[in-house]
Structure 1
Amino acid sequence: MMRRASSGAIHLAPAFSPSLLYYSKNEDVMSFIKSVSSPLAGCLTLVSSLALSEASTNLEHVIVSGTRSEQASVAIPASIQVLTSEQIRLSGAPNLVQVLNAQAGIQIKDSIGNQGRGATIAMRGFGSNSSNNVLVMVDGRKLNNPSLAGPDLASIALKDIDRIEITQGSAGTLYGDQATGGVINVITRKSKDLAAHLEAAAGTDGYVSYEGAVSQTYDSGLSFRLSGEQTEADNFRDNNQSEYTNILANGAYENTRFSVFLEAQQIADDLRLPGSLSSGQIRDDRKQTFTPDDFSDRDTDVYRLGGSVNLFANWALLGEYNHREEDSKGWLGSSFTGKTQVETFDPRVTGEIDTANGPILITAGIDLEDSGYDSQTAFGGTDVSQEMQDVYVQIITPLTESLKLTLGARNSDFEAKNNIDADKFTGDITVYQIGLAWQVDNRSRLFLRRDESFRWANADENGFVIPTVDFLDAQESTSWELGGETRFNDVFLSAVFYYLKTDNEIAYDPSADGPFGPGTGANINLDESERTGVVLTSIWQATESLTVQLNYSYVDAEISSGTFEGNTLPEAAKSTANLVVSYQFDESWSFYTDAQYTGKLYASGDEANQGNEISDYTVLNANVRWDYQKFYANLRASNITGKKYNGFNGGVPPYDYNYPAPEETFQFTVGYNF
């Protein structure tokens, strides 16, 4: 019978999926990392995973991101972790940024400090312009923008999330533009029996939040879900007040032959902008602002229409049409307005062909995207439109009952128009994927994968280039990964080694001869860069009540040719780590804590490595949860030790610019499930 399709990511995490992640920085681990980071090991990515209970010995889990339809993880030659709604619930995290910040291989940059707009995800050593090198999706809908603005992570209400699938590494063949460092796909809840909840929260820095949701599925196949949230906060910095409203409505119908859904979302995001501070200004007062009048207000409307049709046995036609429109206005020393429009349409066919060794899985489709970005300021304007027309196919063939071969290809046609001076750029790229997945036994598997990816320069980047350059070249990458997983007793382990080579990486060089004159800065194409790294994960179900998870990520990211050859790429910490401990005292009380370590790194724009490395730091969070019948309450402490660090660092002193992160914050939440 054909599996019902949806949108998502790849899954190698255990079915029990206890808490989050940990890593311990020590000499033995570092020696191990260095030993495996040879050129041969650097071309590979290994994943090894272990089961959390004797009862769960089958490695097969249903995931979406590996094929863009629901399939078993054992067929996918990739490393994917799944974060469940239960893990999010136990963490007590108030927003998606804090949830993701506790995951292996992820760095969060926050240039505003409210852990919403301005926060971006970095993976695989992509620091500069990381918002355009990690693809973020909700049920397969892209949140990435045709500008330097990062995906709106705050637009995803935590209570709407069923799970988060995190694909480590390149997925350009299956997902196209911007899927270079990884893919984050949030899978939202589906309507079930009549259910509803109400929740209220309050905390430090004037934090107040209200949210609620109601959903139901009827015997006829009709279903609906309606959710809303309202958040207000003064936040840590002066002139950093925020007000956020998010309303989501979804209606669907499903029977044995077809399904269809319609979804609408409206977001109002009003935000004061505290601006950056130099190192000296931070020493004087981390909270101060020198931009007391700056603000940015943004309204977003999203509409989605999609569904699936079972064509015949084991074959289905799927597709979604998505429309997103954002209007912004504000003041940054002078008034500005902005408008972003993104339309996508992605019809695809999935199917199976039976063989003696198992089914051949086929996914083929078209990704169409039409986007535009219009910004007007006192210094001039930007009006750029972009069109992408992609065709792709992926085939997973069983060579034996336990060995599967994955082949894939994508062709992308791209056109960018500068509607102000009528300049036009066209490009064409074809990328390929090949991978092997070997099911060693019911507890262990290995995979080997080579994937190519690409990124077209966006409107912001092409609008600020060297005067002799009209449009930046496309960024192209090749990734090698080798993976394996195994399970025994109460332990889950994972190890990932990878090598990623990038040509024409798009980056900002503050010393380049830019539009404002020599040495004023511009976006450029780097000659070549390389990233060699490892991601290690272990989960120990110590007792029925106690779970401990440890993560460690190491990446050696450097520019391998050109003017900055041999230099470390900025904003990429070589070492990051996480420790997560979750303990269930009884049916009512639970305790959760996570520690996040970020190693030294160079500030944004410092490809020349002229400045000193930014010091490493560790942030500790904790949550106590109480459940009683249908009531629940959380007391969450973020950065409980009051660590003073910056969410983002740029430039070289005395011309550095930094955005201080919040010190200790507390939120108390109460809720009721009807």
Structure 2
Amino acid sequence: MTHQQLVARSVAAVITASVGFGASTAYAEEQVTDDENTVVITASRFKEESVRLPTNITIISKEDIERSNATQVVQLLKRVAGIQISSVSGKTTVSMRGISAEQASNNVLIQVDGRRLNYTDIAAPDLESVLVSDIERIEIIQGAASTLYGDQAVAGVINIITHSGKNKESNASLTGGSYGTAQANLNLNHALNQDWSFLLSANYLETDNYRDHNEREQSQLALKFHYLTEMSDWLFEFNTNHEDLDTPGALLEPDLSEPTQSRPEFANDYVNTQQDVLRVFGQETIDNNWKYAIDVNYLDSDIDSINSFVGFPTTTVNTTDRTQWSVYPRIKGQWQTDSGSIDWTNGVDYDHAEYAFSLLGRSNEQEVKSLYSQLFIPLSKRTDIEVAARYARVEDDLIDLTIYPGGISLKNSATAYDIGVSHQFDRDSRGYVRYSDNYRFAKVDEQSYTADGVIGLEPQTGHSLELGYERGLKYGFLKLSAYRLELDDEIFFDPAATPPPAAFFPGANVNGGRSERIGLMVDYQAELTDDINSGVNYHYVDAEIKRGEPSSQGNSIPGVSEHTANAWIDWQIDSISNGYLEVNYRSDRYQEGDVSNTQPKIASHTVLNSAINWSWEQLTLGIRVDNLLDKEYIDYAQFGGYYPANGRYGYVKLSYRF
């Protein structure tokens, strides 16, 4: 297969994913003719070849991952339109739709194969535990998805799909790079018989990282058994992850002349994590009209840490213990009509979590139960309508040594509704409009530190409206979308709020008034020549506090950049080598938590990343350099505490496929 054919198939696959969602069955079949290159997505929570959800969906393919020579998930997400990335002491948060980094872990749902990475406390999902070598593709739903996914899917969903045992290729790699980075990785796939296969994945990483006192050592092991027949698809998985991370803490403004340093009060700080996951997934085809699926997940996470503050060193060791388990059964019916198929999905989500934090004598047992239904009806061969609804209840049994020493039971409920229309104008273009409700429940940290006199926070609720147009071009595609996201009773930390009695620091978690985000996204990708692919995207968002305290009403939402833009180019230099160059721009924004907009802004920055790969049969040698020009900038800042971004970082990766 020539490179031009590969590019054409890749572009066709992307168009199928991004333009074909609203097409009738006939149109989808015309666009996808090669099963090997079919893009399978899970926006319906079922494995299938086409999904009709009327919203902006982005696919990062396996080929995209390989040609970028990325070793971290964050490297793959940085070039996606509408995503803003922030890093704190080696851990990453991913923001969408004008949500601040401080609130991203509460409002952007991140999953691996349908298993939630988000925790019941405000800790960010651990993207660093996801191995790029394990990823088959990444699916990104931009916009509210509460009816499908429930709590925390306010601004969007990122679903990372990993290899299963049916993948016949095995690989091993060695990586060495800046800051003493060394990594070894193995993915071994083997077919046991016609139906059963297994995958063994192992990884070891050590690095000093960019800043002082930020050493990291990580070891991971995963085992998957996969059963696949014409009617059945079952996956049994176990993985374990151990990580030791020294945390350098924040810097004050005078410290920024030496951005790699760590202040003396953080000399003893660290976070050591042991996390184990068990998962069973099954999907069965009952007959021509019905199929069902079930997801069962269990997570056990134990953390030891020392957490100091600027000016307040400590040597107290804190422990955080989490257990989370979930059961997600669902059933889907499909009936063919002259205009297309009627698709009806119904499901129950059950989540149970236990959490304990030693420092504050804080613990919580949380139970969330949800019912949801989604219906697609073809109004004509070119037009689909989607309606969906969800009802959810949450119960928290909370103990906090300072605020609720005797314990308290908090109960709440929330509903969400969707209605959307998608119209296929012709073979290559479609438009859509979608109205969605969204919600999220307060997390244990937030419920435990509310303003004086407030017992429990109400659910955050919201509404979004999105318009989109997508067109497949002869050598690429164009995607346009505009949205309005409005949140009521938004849950956030307000430094001006009256703290609870016996508080450790000023401020409290509150239900704010109302906030609004109005945004526009443009994404264009093109094959410039037979050997050069390129892309450019832009995101604008006006994020504003519409109603709240007099000191904040009308202000910009802190932590949100009004403008982000990305551009990239991928050049097939010759038959064995390709080069990759990427530029990321992010405009200035107020510091996290600065609802009064009075503190100095975080300056804008532009960063260049580059990679080059050489492939000889099963062997690939890759070099990647991020922050090519060694730009100094701030990735995250809150209340005058600054976290510098990495300087120039490069590595060499040698991979072997067998």
Write the distance in 2 (CA, Å) between the matches of 1:196 and 1:473.
49
CA shift at 1:354, angstroms? 2.0
In structure 1, the partner of 2:41 is 64
Write the distance in 1 (CA, Å) between the matches of 2:406 and 2:581.
54
Would the alpha carbon gap of residues 650 and 121 (structure 1) be closer, same or farther in structure 2, given more than 3 Å must change?
same
What is the one-letter code of the residue matched to 2:93?
Answer: T
For the residue of structure 1 that corresponds to 2:67, the secondary structure is helix
In structure 2, the partner of 1:264 is 238
Would you say the 8 A contact 1:59–1:443 is kept in 2? no
- Residue in structure 2 matching 1:224, options 174, 198, 202: 198
Write the distance in 2 (CA, Å) between the matches of 1:429 and 1:618.
41
CA shift at 1:615, angstroms? 1.1
Query: In the alignment, is residue 308 of structure 1 matched against residue 283 of structure 2?
Result: yes
Query: In the alignment, is residue 160 of structure 1 matched against residue 148 of structure 2?
Result: no
Write the distance in 2 (CA, Å) between the matches of 1:428 and 1:549.
43
Write the distance in 2 (CA, Å) between the matches of 1:203 and 1:517.
44
Identify which of structures 1 and 2 has the higher relative contact order when contacts are C-alpha pairs closer than 8 Å and 6+ apart. 1
Would you say the 8 A contact 1:57–1:443 is kept in 2? no
- Residue in structure 1 matching 2:222, options 235, 248, 253: 248
Residues 437-516 of structure 1: pairs in structure 2 closer than 5 A:
437-515=422-500, 516=502
Which segment is superposed worse, 328-337 or 618-627? Answer: 328-337
Would you say the 8 A contact 1:305–1:321 is kept in 2? yes
CA shift at 1:392, angstroms? 0.2
What is the one-letter code of the residue matched to 1:108?
Answer: I
In structure 1, the partner of 2:12 is 15
CA shift at 1:219, angstroms? 4.2
Write the distance in 1 (CA, Å) between the matches of 2:49 and 2:230.
21
In structure 1, the partner of 2:274 is 299
In structure 2, the partner of 1:81 is 58
In structure 2, the partner of 1:196 is 170
In structure 2, the partner of 1:671 is 655
TM-score, length-normalised on structure 1? Answer: 0.89
Query: In the alignment, is residue 602 of structure 1 matched against residue 602 of structure 2?
Result: no
Aligned length: 620
In structure 1, the partner of 2:25 is none
Write the distance in 1 (CA, Å) between the matches of 2:106 and 2:329.
24
Unaligned runs of 5+ in 2: 1-9, 23-28, 308-313, 400-404
Would you say the 8 A contact 1:59–1:444 is kept in 2? no
Write the distance in 2 (CA, Å) between the matches of 1:521 and 1:386.
25
In structure 1, the partner of 2:389 is 409
Would you say the 8 A contact 1:65–1:167 is kept in 2? no
Query: In the alignment, is residue 535 of structure 1 matched against residue 515 of structure 2?
Result: no
- Residue in structure 2 matching 1:390, options 367, 370, 374: 370
Write the distance in 2 (CA, Å) between the matches of 1:74 and 1:306.
20
Would you say the 8 A contact 1:246–1:266 is kept in 2? yes
Would you say the 8 A contact 2:13–2:39 is kept in 1? no
CA shift at 1:75, angstroms? 2.4
CA shift at 1:548, angstroms? 1.1
CA offset digits 1:230-269 (Å, max 9, x no partner): 1100111111000011111100222233332210000001
CA offset digits 1:13-71 (Å, max 9, x no partner): 943559xxxxxxxxxxxxxxxxxxxxxxxxxxx9999xxxxxx9838974433311134
Would you say the 8 A contact 2:279–2:297 is kept in 1? yes
Would you say the 8 A contact 2:192–2:198 is kept in 1? no
Write the distance in 1 (CA, Å) between the matches of 2:233 and 2:533.
39
What is the one-letter code of the residue matched to 1:452?
Answer: D
Query: In the alignment, is residue 544 of structure 1 matched against residue 530 of structure 2?
Result: yes
**What percentage of residue pairs aligned between the two structures are identical?**
31
Query: In the alignment, is residue 593 of structure 1 matched against residue 570 of structure 2?
Result: no
- Residue in structure 1 matching 2:413, options 408, 425, 428: 428
- Residue in structure 2 matching 1:215, options 189, 202, 214: 189
What is the one-letter code of the residue matched to 2:412?
Answer: G
RMSD between superposed Cα atoms in Å: 2.1
Would the alpha carbon gap of residues 226 and 518 (structure 1) be closer, same or farther in structure 2, given more than 3 Å must change?
closer
Unaligned runs of 5+ in 1: 1-12, 19-45, 50-55
Write the distance in 1 (CA, Å) between the matches of 2:483 and 2:584.
22
Would the alpha carbon gap of residues 447 and 166 (structure 1) be closer, same or farther in structure 2, given more than 3 Å must change?
same
TM-score, length-normalised on structure 2? Answer: 0.91
Would you say the 8 A contact 1:200–1:209 is kept in 2? yes
Write the distance in 2 (CA, Å) between the matches of 1:242 and 1:615.
28
Would you say the 8 A contact 1:472–1:525 is kept in 2? yes
